[in-house]
Amino acid sequence: MVERVLAVRGPRSLLRQIREVMSAGGPAQGRLDKVVRIIANSMVAEVCSIYLRRASGEMELFATEGLDPSAVHVTRLRTGEGLVGEILRLGRPLNLSDAPLHPSFSYRPETGEDPFHAFLGVPLLRGGRPIGALVVQNRTARIYGEEEVEDLQTVAMVIAEIVASGELVGLAELKDVELAPHRPERLKGVRFAEGLALGKAVLHDTPVAPEKLLADDAALEEVRLRDNLEKLRAQIDEMLEGHHVVGVSYEVLETYRMFAHDRGWTRGLEEAVRSGLTAEAAVERVRSEHRARLGQARDAYLRERLHDFEDLADRLLRVLAGETPGSRKLPDDAILIARNLGPAELLEYDRTKLKGLLLEEGSAASHAAIVARALGIPCVGRLQGLRDRVSEGDPVVVDGETGEAYLRPRADVVESFQARAAVRAGRRAEFARLRDTPAITQDGDKISLLMNAGLAVDLDNLEETGAEGIGLFRTEFQFMVAEEMPRLDAQTALYTRVLDAAGGRPVIFRTLDLGGDKVLPYMQAEREDNPALGWRAVRMGLDRPALLRLQLRALISAARGRELHVMFPLVATVEEFRTARALVDQELAWAHRRGRASPSSLRVGAMIEAPALIWHLDALLPMTDFVSVGTNDLMQYLFAADRGNARVSDRYDCLSPPALRVLKTIGDACRDTGTPVSVCGEIAGRSLEAFALIALGFDRLSMPPAGIGPVKRMVLSTDREAAIRGMAPLLKSGGGSVRNEIETLARKLNVAL
């Protein structure tokens, strides 16, 4: 116990001495020299050296006690060279009893380090990025103890922060030292939502930066850390009970809880506080260690664990600061940077200022991507290492056409972007001119183009795009962004506003499609092993008929003498549709008995998303007034590939023979029975895929607002009969995707894609 007390007292005394040097005046080099001298004396080391990383990637000796002082600012090591390069490569301490025997040892005669054998070096980490190294050496061959390693890490963390702040060395002298990414970078990802955007980087849930690094009382600080850890765990327990979850899966929250109780993580925080750091500084130190160690892992599971610790660290910092999660203010022209987002999280931001979205993870079929497309926000995802390569306020270009992101772009890149943006503006002007032009093919077939919506703000797009109506109104969005269950009057008011805005144009309301990855903050939910195939959509409504009937009552009340279309999602059996339709009849009868206003006509339909229905269309279609093909879910179930899982979501192509044959089967069955059918998945809003749908016989497409113009231009240039003839042999292909063949067909027919 006495030894541990002395060990704690040692680094605290050392940190206090460093703080005194920081506050003293004098030349920067002189203060650096004093710091390494203090560290050497405290660590009983014969050598202490500080290396800083230049923008070129070279590591330069900035200060030393024990080596030849003439080597300062002379000795430079290339990227990965020597033991210092090995420290940066590993991102963790290097502890050697006989350094010259290590294969990475690089002898530099100007330093005079020949006599020294014992070597301990730790990285200077800032935001998980190595900006330098702190090294101690001794003549006698030995391995440094665990407490010595821990003490040097604590000192390194403090030095990294004060170097970056300019307190120890003037920022002018560090202008060529890479304290944060500053060089232009181009990252290749995947296009989630089309468009171009130039703006300033805003980090989603930016952690609170610790203002105070050194604690006044280590014992009291440890108590503060433990108290706030308990608050953190209590918050996570609450979320798992379903009180504060918006768009976050329970599996993730279970992982949060597991790591919040992780002994290794907790022990690392406690030891950092005992060494003299504040709780906030301890979180940053442990976070940097995890970033450096796990960020280079090849194993995807280990990289995911890093993300778990990152999120946990951010949440703990907010708890320590007394903050609670909520909406954030944005600067003008904001580009949001995040690992991943749920749909409700994206909706917390001001869409008038949010110009683009960049994600490390995600999928084009994820709901965050769907919301981004609905809001017209360019989005690129799967940008590896994004968060560690960009700083708050960096200029950023989002290229939603090529699926790329430019960080701190060069002037020529900005000029090219502006030229392309001008071309897109011209294209939008062309689409605007086509707004009131009917979508009729070259051979005279009328194609109805409708838009998808789910938010009140989407209604403005009806007039702007010239859409003929709303082919899919996602009613669950109102529930997801609310703090409590919307009451009957609130639901009725929204649906009334939607019908008013439509001005007599058709609106198809999809009843609540909740469950899976769409969880309400005020409803208790059970964890499911496979939520996409679990208790969701119409299944939830049928099991909780009061919830579904309340919504149906609001829809019937809102119609008031107007035509009403109601559609049930994820119907898997004929019996499910029969039961759901009976609830509509009950609510309509309830309104009639009380003399309430009712719709002039009421049409009830089903979404075809479950493959089982494809082989029972002969029984389903006569019971429906219309159907809509939800290709997003239909394709993920057809190919057994979770659309939200980046590792499998792109393994199939909707323009492949199996998918095209399924779609043709549905279309043919609807034509045979005279059942109106539309396609309302994401593919309806992409010109090439929409061309394929028209060639399969579909004449009603519902899409994100941004897709109306491009698809209408495509329709106006298409000879449908020729497209049908060209598509027929492709359906018989024995290969995989026929995307290239369909594009070749479209080009041959001079279709404007």
Residues 635-658: tens digit of each pLDDT: 988 998 876 666 776 778 899 999
pLDDT at 327 over 70: no
Highest mean pLDDT among 83-92, 435-444, 492-501: 435-444
Selection from 4, 421, 360, 24 nearest residue 198 by Cα: 421
| pLDDT value, residue 304 | 46
CB neighbours of 425 closer than 8 A, spacing ≥ 6? none
Domains 2-174 and 631-679+681-753 share a fold: no
User: How much is the mean pLDDT over the chain?
Assistant: 82
Selection from 743, 752, 217 nearest residue 434 by Cα: 752
Structure tokens at 36: 């390494």
For residues 247 and 77, which has the higher predicted lDDT (pLDDT)? 77
Quote the CA–CA distance of 347 and 361 in Å, as a whole number: 18
What is the percentage of the chain residues whose pLDDT exceeds 70? Answer: 81
pLDDT band at residue 23 under the 50/70/90 scheme: low
Q: What is residue 287's three-state secondary structure?
A: helix
**pLDDT tens digits for range 120-153:** 999 988 766 788 899 999 999 999 998 889 889 8
| pLDDT value, residue 464 | 81
CATH topology of domain 185-205+327-413: Glucose Oxidase; domain 1 (3.50.30)
70 neighbors 275 (Cβ within 8 angstroms): no
The 3-class secondary structure across 482-551, one letter per residue, is CCCCCCHHHHHHHHHHHHHHHCCCCEEEECCCCECCECCCCCCCCCCCCHHHCCCCHHHHHHCHHHHHHH
pLDDT at 12 over 90: no
Single-letter amino acid, residue 286: V
pLDDT at 285 over 80: yes
628 neighbors 508 (Cβ within 8 angstroms): yes
108 neighbors 75 (Cβ within 8 angstroms): yes
pLDDT at 260 over 70: yes
pLDDT band at residue 610 under the 50/70/90 scheme: very high
pLDDT at 22 over 80: no
pLDDT band at residue 736 under the 50/70/90 scheme: confident
pLDDT band at residue 160 under the 50/70/90 scheme: confident
Dihedral sign for Cα 247, 250, 255, 257, please: positive
Average pLDDT over residues 375-383: 89
Give the homologous superfamily in CATH for domain 469-626. Phosphoenolpyruvate-binding domains (3.20.20.60)
The 3-class secondary structure across 631-677, one letter per residue, is HHHHHHHHCCCCCCCCCCCCCCCCCCHHHHHHHHHHHHHHHHHCCCE
Q: What strands lie across the sheet with 129-138, from one edge to the other?
A: 76-77, 59-65, 47-53, 129-138, 118-126, 94-96
| pLDDT value, residue 46 | 95
Selection from 208, 226, 221, 423 nearest residue 322 by Cα: 208
pLDDT band at residue 250 under the 50/70/90 scheme: very low
For residues 284 and 84, which has the higher predicted lDDT (pLDDT)? 84
For residues 543 and 163, which has the higher predicted lDDT (pLDDT)? 543
Quote the CA–CA distance of 548 and 537 in Å, as a whole number: 10
| pLDDT value, residue 331 | 86
Q: Is 367 noted as a catalytic residue in this protein?
A: yes
pLDDT band at residue 745 under the 50/70/90 scheme: very high
pLDDT band at residue 300 under the 50/70/90 scheme: very low
513 neighbors 535 (Cβ within 8 angstroms): no
**pLDDT tens digits for range 190-233:** 888 888 999 999 988 655 556 677 888 888 999 999 998 888 88
328 neighbors 349 (Cβ within 8 angstroms): yes
| pLDDT value, residue 619 | 96
Average pLDDT over residues 736-740: 91
How would DSSP label each residue in 242-277? TSS-SS--HHHHHHHHHHHT-HHHHHHHHHHHHTTB
pLDDT at 728 over 80: yes
For residues 458 and 431, which has the higher predicted lDDT (pLDDT)? 431
What helix, strand, coil percent values describe the chain, rounded to 5?
A: 50, 15, 35
| pLDDT value, residue 159 | 82
Q: Quote the longest CA-to-CA distance of the chain.
A: 100
Selection from 474, 739, 498 nearest residue 630 by Cα: 474
199 neighbors 355 (Cβ within 8 angstroms): yes
Average pLDDT over residues 18-37: 79
Highest mean pLDDT among 22-31, 411-420, 496-505, 602-611: 602-611
- The phi and psi torsions of 390 (rounded to 5 degrees) equal -135, 145
Quote the CA–CA distance of 634 and 631 in Å, as a whole number: 5
Of 323-327, 369-373, 391-395, the least confident = 323-327
CB neighbours of 253 closer than 8 A, spacing ≥ 6? 236, 239, 240, 245
For residues 251 and 449, which has the higher predicted lDDT (pLDDT)? 449
Structure tokens at 108: 């530099």
Check if CATH label 1.10.3720.10 holds for domain 631-679+681-753. no
| pLDDT value, residue 137 | 96
Type and span of the H or E element at 623: none
Single-letter amino acid, residue 650: D
pLDDT band at residue 58 under the 50/70/90 scheme: confident
Quote the CA–CA distance of 86 and 706 in Å, as a whole number: 50
Average pLDDT over residues 271-285: 87
β-strand partners of 479: none
Single-letter amino acid, residue 268: G
CB neighbours of 160 closer than 8 A, spacing ≥ 6? 124, 125, 126, 131, 132
Of 58-72, 268-282, 528-542, 579-593, the least confident = 528-542
208 neighbors 317 (Cβ within 8 angstroms): yes
**pLDDT tens digits for range 443-498:** 999 999 999 887 666 677 788 888 999 999 988 877 765 556 788 988 898 899 89
pLDDT band at residue 162 under the 50/70/90 scheme: confident
CATH topology of domain 2-174: Beta-Lactamase (3.30.450)
How would DSSP label each residue in 381-401? E--TTHHHH--TT-EEEEETT
CB neighbours of 114 closer than 8 A, spacing ≥ 6? none
Quote the CA–CA distance of 118 and 214 in Å, as a whole number: 29
Residue whose entry in the numeric block shows the structure tokens 């709780």: 279
pLDDT at 413 over 90: no
pLDDT band at residue 243 under the 50/70/90 scheme: very low
Give the homologous superfamily in CATH for domain 218-320. PtsI, HPr-binding domain (1.10.274.10)
Of 273-287, 395-409, 659-673, the least confident = 273-287
Selection from 87, 124, 92 nearest residue 102 by Cα: 87
| pLDDT value, residue 251 | 39
Q: Are strands 196-203 and 395-399 parallel, antiparallel or unpaired?
A: antiparallel
The residues spanned by each domain of the chain are: 2-174, 185-205+327-413, 218-320, 469-626, 631-679+681-753
Q: Are strands 334-338 and 196-203 parallel, antiparallel or unpaired?
A: parallel
CB neighbours of 66 closer than 8 A, spacing ≥ 6? 40, 45, 46, 47, 48, 49, 116, 137
| pLDDT value, residue 301 | 38
pLDDT band at residue 363 under the 50/70/90 scheme: confident
| pLDDT value, residue 90 | 82
- Conformational region of residue 750, where left means phi above 0, alpha means psi within -120 to 50, and beta covers everything else: left
Of 359-363, 556-560, 730-734, the least confident = 359-363
pLDDT at 723 over 90: yes
Structure tokens at 118: 């014992």
Quote the CA–CA distance of 20 and 2 in Å, as a whole number: 27
Structure tokens at 227: 């108290």
| pLDDT value, residue 53 | 83
pLDDT band at residue 328 under the 50/70/90 scheme: low
Type and span of the H or E element at 724: helix 720-727
Does the reported pTM lie above 0.75?
no
Dihedral sign for Cα 403, 663, 657, 716, please: negative
Of 166-180, 224-238, 524-538, 588-602, the least confident = 166-180
Catalytic residue selected from 204, 367, 654, 670:
367
Highest mean pLDDT among 133-147, 371-385, 507-521: 133-147
pLDDT at 364 over 90: no
Distances (CA, A) of 204 to 75, 129, 573: 40, 19, 41
663 neighbors 687 (Cβ within 8 angstroms): no
Q: What is the dihedral of CA 220, 223, 225, 227, to 10 degrees?
A: -140
Structure tokens at 602: 């009421």
Quote the CA–CA distance of 118 and 95 in Å, as a whole number: 8
Quote the CA–CA distance of 695 and 699 in Å, as a whole number: 9
pLDDT band at residue 20 under the 50/70/90 scheme: confident
453 neighbors 473 (Cβ within 8 angstroms): yes
Q: Is 48 noted as a catalytic residue in this protein?
A: no
β-strand partners of 358: 337, 380
Catalytic residue selected from 48, 379, 670, 680:
680
